């Protein structure tokens, strides 16, 4: 069975053999993915014609109501998505991060828009700014919907959350969306679209399962492209003439060698020591470490590194790898065998700079499944004492993998953090306000989000790896240089800002 795409309001399958997608746990075939023969030009025209017009008739709160209805429809049927997620290796906890996280994000956006955006189709950003002495000439900024579409290309690891966190601000901004999910988990995204499409205006959402050859040729300066995935794909797409010549807006979220720092005050026995070890293991094991925000580089004071190794190893020893839902399983499979091969290759490179101190990249005990048919991998903790080596700062093993490294002083720590060349998320775990301030001010320029974790906030903290819809998600440099979420900032980012000039009276009459 070839997975169907949702184009021009109907579900239809691509031609040809397609790309096979296997169950991450059993290796059995799930579906085939092909977009061969699908008319993407007609889909773009349909979005521009039908979707743009339908969304344009709605004010911001009306769009918020449609988004809320879509999210609630998904909530009703989330068990279907959990079941499909298990086929992609996700435990119930993993699926909740993706499915409930996605629904929650859409609901937060609906609420932010209802409360924070006008009952209008344009946003007036400021009061008139006087530009003449007599007060007859002024300027002010308005945000309006571009006459375009949003093409959203997502990574495999969050087929629901990754789609909804892009979809929500685009729809609120009035842009119809064409979603292109990653092939390995496209069947989960497609199911979610089946559930939500009826709640959205005609043409507001379309989905292409498979490649999108020629699609960028149809995009231009009124269009938006949202991309999540590897830095290599981001580089290829951002050099397309749609972006370089015709100035389609391009936002990228890419690889990230996120760090977490343990403070010198957080010695064994202090709550922060345990918080650090717990957070590291959580980040290594949720979604089997296939999270763009996971901690890849863990910096600890040189005099504490042995104690940290011991504490983390003890926690990793309690991780049970196996089939989602099987007795006692706490970590599922990677999305597929190719992904497991990629991670093993990356770990071999990392191990060249130091050593694997927990786990065996070639072997893992598995509960409820066959270790070789499924894409299972042990959690792998590495230690690199020679922090001048490039590998831990450059190689992203997109799996249950993290590397411990020592630092000696804050100046050295600043340098180590900066060697990630830009990250989505960082954290410092310490109860020493002076140290925290020093680290955060040094690290902020390299990060899109930075978490401080200590005994005071731990009970409510959302953790290192969880992007929040109210807060910015994105990062400079290697992380893609983009910005998503951040509350209504993401809606504004999809709109065109125009400075209007004229008499205060005419400006008022325009924005009324
Ligand atoms: P990927 O191979 O770069 O693929 C990402 C998306 O791009 C997929 O939908 C893929 O489709 C599509 N794609 C590939 N070539 C394309 C082309 N020429 N034109 C249009 N679309 C194209 O990345 P991935 O393996 O799915 O994801 C893993 C990577 O994503 C990791 O490096 C991770 O760090 C990063 N990531 C970042 C974030 C973030 O928020 N920053 C989140 C998650 C993941 P196909 O699957 O059909 O090839």
Cross-strand bridge partners of residue 51: none
Q: Which residues are marked as active site?
A: 253, 292
The protein residue with its alpha carbon nearest to ligand 1, atom 39, reads: 253
- Residue 140: per-residue pLDDT: 96
**Is 440 a residue whose pLDDT tops 90?**
yes
**Is 76 a residue whose pLDDT tops 90?**
yes
Q: Which residues line ligand 1 (CB under 6 A)?
A: 153-157, 180, 182-183, 211-212, 228-230, 233, 236-237, 253-256, 292, 396, 398, 424, 480
Mean pLDDT within 153-165 = 98
The distance of Cα 229 from the centroid of its chain, to the nearest Å, equals 9
The protein residue with its alpha carbon nearest to ligand 1, atom 30, reads: 229
Ligand 1 centroid distance, CA of 46 (Å)? 26
**Is 213 a residue whose pLDDT tops 90?**
yes
The protein residue with its alpha carbon nearest to ligand 1, atom 36, reads: 229
Ligand 1 centroid distance, CA of 106 (Å)? 22
**Is 191 a residue whose pLDDT tops 90?**
yes
The protein residue with its alpha carbon nearest to ligand 1, atom 20, reads: 212
Ligand 1 centroid distance, CA of 459 (Å)? 34
**The two three-digit tokens of residue 453, written as one number:** 């974790």
Ligand 1 centroid distance, CA of 232 (Å)? 9
Mean pLDDT within 269-285 = 98
> What is the position in ligand 1's atom list of the atom closest to the CA of 184?
46
Mean pLDDT within 273-281 = 98
Strands (E), 37-132: 123-124, 129-130
Ligand 1 centroid distance, CA of 278 (Å)? 29
- Residue 66: per-residue pLDDT: 98
- Residue of 162, 207, 209, 229 to test ligand 1 pocket, by largest number of atoms within 8 Å of CB: 229
- Residue of 88, 182, 216, 483 to test ligand 1 pocket, by largest number of atoms within 8 Å of CB: 182
- Residue 12: per-residue pLDDT: 97
What would you measure as the largest C-alpha separation in the chain, in angstroms? 81
Q: Tell me the C-alpha distance between 76 and 13, whole Å.
A: 27
> In degrees to the nearest 10, what's the CA dihedral of 259, 261, 262, 263?
180
Question: What pTM was computed for the model?
Answer: 0.95
> What is the position in ligand 1's atom list of the atom closest to the CA of 213?
19
The protein residue with its alpha carbon nearest to ligand 1, atom 10, reads: 182
Of 193, 156, 203, 166, which Cα lies nearest the Cα of 399?
156
**Is 499 a residue whose pLDDT tops 90?**
yes
Scanning 1-100, the segments in alpha helix (DSSP H) are 40-46, 52-56, 60-76, 78-87, 92-95
> What is the position in ligand 1's atom list of the atom closest to the CA of 424?
41
Which residues, including other chains, have CB under 8 Å from residue 40's CB and lie 6 or more apart? 7, 208, 212, 213, 214, 215, 218
Q: Residue 361's pLDDT band (boundaries 50, 70, 90)? A: very high
- Residue 216: per-residue pLDDT: 98
Q: Tell me the C-alpha distance between 254 and 422, whole Å.
A: 10
294-322: per-residue pLDDT in tens? 999 999 999 999 999 999 999 999 999 99
Q: Tell me the C-alpha distance between 102 and 95, whole Å.
A: 10
The protein residue with its alpha carbon nearest to ligand 1, atom 8, reads: 182
Ligand 1 centroid distance, CA of 359 (Å)? 27
- Residue 512: per-residue pLDDT: 86
> In degrees to the nearest 10, what's the CA dihedral of 157, 452, 428, 334?
-10
Q: Residue 378's pLDDT band (boundaries 50, 70, 90)? A: very high
Ligand 1 centroid distance, CA of 128 (Å)? 43
**Is 255 a residue whose pLDDT tops 90?**
no
Mean pLDDT within 187-213 = 98
Q: Residue 392's pLDDT band (boundaries 50, 70, 90)? A: very high
The protein residue with its alpha carbon nearest to ligand 1, atom 4, reads: 229
CA distances (Å), 176 to each of 51, 56, 146, 224, 435, in order?
A: 5, 10, 11, 10, 47
């Amino acid at each position: 069975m070839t997975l169907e795409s949702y184009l021009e309001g109907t579900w239809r399958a691509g031609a040809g053999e397609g790309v096979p997608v296997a169950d991450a746990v059993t290796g059995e075939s799930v579906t085939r993915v092909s977009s061969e023969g699908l008319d993407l030009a007609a889909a773009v025209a349909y979005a521009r014609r039908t979707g743009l017009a339908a969304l344009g008739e709605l004010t911001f709160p009306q769009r918020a109501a449609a988004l809320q209805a879509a999210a609630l429809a998904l909530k009703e049927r989330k068990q279907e998505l959990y079941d499909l997620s298990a086929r992609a290796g996700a435990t119930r906890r993993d699926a909740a991060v993706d499915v409930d996280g996605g629904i929650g994000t859409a609901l937060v956006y609906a609420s932010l828009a209802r409360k924070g955006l006008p009952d209008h189709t344009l946003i007036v950003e400021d009061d008139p700014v006087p530009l003449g002495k007599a007060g007859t000439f002024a300027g002010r900024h308005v945000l309006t919907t571009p006459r375009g579409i949003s093409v959203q290309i997502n990574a495999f690891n969050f087929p629901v959350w990754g789609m909804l966190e892009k979809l929500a601000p685009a729809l609120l901004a009035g842009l119809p969306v064409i979603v292109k999910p990653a092939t390995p988990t496209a069947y989960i995204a497609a199911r979610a679209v089946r559930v939500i499409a009826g709640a959205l205006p005609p043409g507001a959402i379309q989905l292409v399962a498979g490649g999108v050859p020629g699609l960028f040729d149809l995009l231009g300066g009124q269009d938006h492209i949202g991309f999540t995935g590897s830095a290599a794909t981001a580089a290829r797409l951002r050099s397309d003439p749609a972006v370089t010549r015709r100035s389609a807006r391009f936002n990228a979220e890419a690889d990230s060698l996120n760090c977490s720092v343990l403070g010198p005050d957080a010695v064994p026995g202090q709550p922060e020591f345990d918080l650090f070890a717990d957070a590291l293991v959580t980040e290594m094991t949720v979604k089997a470490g296939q999270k763009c925000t996971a901690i890849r580089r863990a910096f600890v004071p040189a005099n504490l590194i042995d104690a940290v190794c011991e504490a983390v190893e003890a926690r990793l020893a309690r991780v049970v790898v196996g089939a989602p839902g099987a007795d006692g399983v706490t970590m599922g499979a990677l999305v597929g065998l190719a992904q497991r091969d990629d991670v093993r290759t990356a770990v071999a490179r990392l191990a060249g700079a130091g050593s694997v101190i927990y786990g065996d990249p070639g072997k893992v005990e598995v509960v409820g499944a066959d270790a070789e048919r499924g894409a299972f991998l042990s959690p792998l903790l590495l230690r690199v004492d020679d922090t001048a080596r490039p590998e831990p700062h450059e190689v992203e093993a997109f799996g249950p993998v993290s590397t411990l490294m020592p630092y000696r002083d804050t100046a050295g720590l600043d340098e180590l953090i900066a060697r990630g060349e830009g990250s989505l998320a960082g954290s410092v775990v310490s109860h020493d306000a002076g140290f925290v301030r020093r680290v955060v001010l040094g690290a902020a320029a390299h990060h899109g989000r930075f978490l401080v974790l200590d005994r005071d906030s731990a009970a409510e903290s959302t953790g290192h790896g969880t992007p929040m819809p109210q807060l910015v998600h994105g990062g400079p440099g290697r992380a893609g240089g983009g910005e998503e979420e951040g509350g209504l900032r993401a809606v504004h980012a999809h709109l065109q800002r125009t400075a209007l000039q004229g008499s205060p009276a005419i400006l008022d009459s325009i924005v009324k």
